[in-house]
């Protein structure tokens, strides 16, 4: 990934609080963002965008061309979560996922879906012996079974046939795999695991294997191995510490990162970056968790994932020291307070205190 030459003096950030707990966790993320950028003398210009269920109910709009154009004028997007209240049938199922989240990923060419997993001191894994977990999933973001290809013949009948088509291109896999190798080469353990199911999905599997082999030749310092996706879930519960960088397709990455979030203490802690590594459009940073309408508005949500997403955003924008400061502050706060019951704002206070 070509990083900005110099640290920026000025950032334009699009903020999308969204629905449910989104606004609460984004509020804490913004406080942290403001604190570290102010300390670094970086001016941050923010603009808020309404997207999600509430926005849809109010306007009938998902993500319009115009909003996309306006988003493009920013350096990055800080995103909360979108989703209707459970049982609210006014928003058709799948609409927000496809017409907001996936539309944004595809339109802004977020081809790397970057999802780090760490088990921080003070957090509790459901695993009895989790070990020292610190890996990153590099998930494809613009291809695979997510392209909306496929269809249905004779819908609603006894002779119905429904297809889903996974599209995989050398263009798409190559840039993903290159990103993953570059990341692995910068990390301490320099290990890359390709996860696929090439014994069954032979065509896509062969493409991934070929490009990992080809690009891997440029990175002799990175050790490469391969796991079928089913076996990968076993290792994620029996020995997650074995992983360093995992590179995988869009759907497998979706599944593995939720599992990874679970074994590292909950997706309340897991951030994600939807990255356009060519920087032809702004990248988007978000917590992996959803809008959790059941606990919304009650200061019960954990803002750590949103705060860590902010750190990823700053790293991407050429402010790695500020990103590291946030990471360190989160770690310190978690080590001090562990899983003790605190309000969303109290966790934000804790991280700000650790920053100071």
Catalytically annotated residues: 146, 197, 230, 254, 258
Site string for ligand IPM, 260-289 (x = CB under 6 A): ------------------------------
For residue 102, state whether it binds a second copy (rule: CB under 8 A). Answer: yes
With CB under 5 to 8 Å by kind, the binding choice for 160 among a second copy, ligand IPM, none is: a second copy
Contacts of 215 (CB under 8 A, 6+ apart): 174, 177, 178, 181
Nearer to ligand IPM, 44 or 255 (CB): 255
Residues of span 253-292 touching a second copy by CB under 8 A:
254-255, 257-259, 261-263, 266-267
From candidates 66, 157, 163, 199, binder to ligand IPM by CB under 6 A:
199
- Taken in order 58, 64, 67, 71, the sign of the CA dihedral is positive
The residue among 127, 142, 202 whose CA lies nearest residue 174 is 142
Q: What are phi and psi of 113, to 5 degrees?
A: -105, 105
Which value, in Å, is the radius of gyration of the alpha carbons in the chain?
20
Q: Which residue's structure tokens are 């309000």? A: 343
Region from 18-26, 113-121, 150-158, 297-305 binding a second copy, contact rule CB under 8 A: 150-158
Of 38, 39, 73, 162, which one interacts with a second copy (CB under 8 A)?
A: 162
Cross-strand partners of 286: 272
One DSSP character per residue, 24-71 reads HHHHHHHHHHHHHHHHTT-EEEEEE---SHHHHHHHS-SS-HHHHHHH
* Minimum distance, C-beta of residue 65 to a second copy, in the bound complex (Å): 22
How many binding residues for ligand IPM (CB under 6 A)?
A: 7
Least distance (Å) between residue 102 CB and ligand IPM: 6
Q: Which stretch binds ligand IPM (CB under 6 A): 15-23, 94-102, 301-309, 342-350?
A: 94-102
Regarding 101 and contact with ligand IPM (CB under 6 A), the answer is yes
Note whether 189 binds a second copy by CB under 8 A.
no
Q: Quote the CA–CA distance of 319 and 37 in Å, as a whole number.
A: 9
Q: Quick count: other Cβ atoms within 10 Å of Cβ 34?
A: 13
Is residue 183 a contact partner of residue 245, using CB atoms and an 8 Å limit? Answer: yes
Nearer to ligand IPM, 246 or 352 (CB): 246
Output the six-digit token pair for 238.
């029996």
Indicate which of a second copy, ligand IPM, none lies near residue 57 (CB less than 5 to 8 Å, by partner kind). none
Residue 20 is given by DSSP the state T
Distance, in Å, from the CA atom of 49 to the CA atom of 306, rounded to the nearest integer, reads 17
Query: Least Å distance between CB 76 and a second copy?
Result: 25
Judged by the rule CB under 8 A, the positions of this chain that interact with a second copy are: 93-94, 97-98, 102, 125-129, 145-146, 148, 150-152, 155-171, 174, 197-204, 206-207, 210, 229-231, 233-234, 237-238, 251, 254-255, 257-259, 261-263, 266-267
């Amino acid at each position: 990934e070509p990083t900005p030459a110099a640290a920026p003096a000025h950032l334009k950030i699009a903020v999308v609080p969204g629905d449910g707990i989104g606004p609460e966790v984004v509020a804490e993320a913004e406080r942290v963002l403001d604190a570290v950028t102010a300390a670094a003398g970086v001016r941050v210009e923010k603009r808020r965008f309404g997207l999600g269920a509430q926005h849809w109910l109010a306007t009938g709009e998902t993500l319009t061309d115009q909003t996309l154009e306006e988003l493009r004028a920013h350096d990055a997007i800080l995103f909360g979560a979108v989703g209707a209240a459970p049982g609210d049938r006014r928003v058709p199922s799948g609409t927000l996922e496809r017409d907001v989240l996936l539309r944004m990923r595809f339109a802004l060419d977020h081809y790397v879906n970057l999802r780090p997993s760490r088990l921080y001191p003070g957090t509790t894994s459901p695993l009895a012996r989790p070990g020292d977990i610190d890996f990153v999933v590099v998930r494809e973001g613009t291809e695979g079974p997510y392209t909306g290809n496929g269809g249905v013949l004779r819908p609603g009948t006894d002779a119905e046939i429904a297809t889903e088509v996974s599209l995989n291109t050398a263009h798409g896999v190559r840039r993903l795999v290159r990103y993953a190798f570059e990341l692995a080469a910068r990390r301490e353990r320099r290990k890359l695991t390709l996860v696929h199911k090439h014994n069954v999905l032979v065509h896509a599997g062969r493409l991934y294997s070929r490009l990992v082999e080809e690009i891997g030749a440029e990175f002799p310092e990175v050790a490469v191995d391969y796991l079928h996706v089913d076996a990968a879930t076993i290792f994620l519960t029996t020995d997650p510490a074995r992983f360093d960088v995992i590179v995988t397709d869009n759907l497998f990455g979706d599944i593995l990162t939720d599992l990874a979030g679970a074994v590292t203490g909950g997706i309340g802690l897991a951030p994600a970056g939807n990255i356009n590594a060519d920087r032809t459009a702004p990248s988007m940073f978000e917590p992996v968790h959803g809008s959790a309408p059941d606990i919304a508005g009650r200061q019960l949500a954990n803002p750590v994932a949103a705060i860590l997403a902010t750190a990823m955003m700053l790293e991407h924008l050429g402010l790695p020291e500020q990103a590291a400061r946030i990471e360190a502050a989160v770690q310190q706060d978690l080590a001090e307070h562990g899983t003790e019951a605190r309000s969303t704002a109290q966790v934000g206070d804790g991280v700000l205190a650790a920053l100071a």
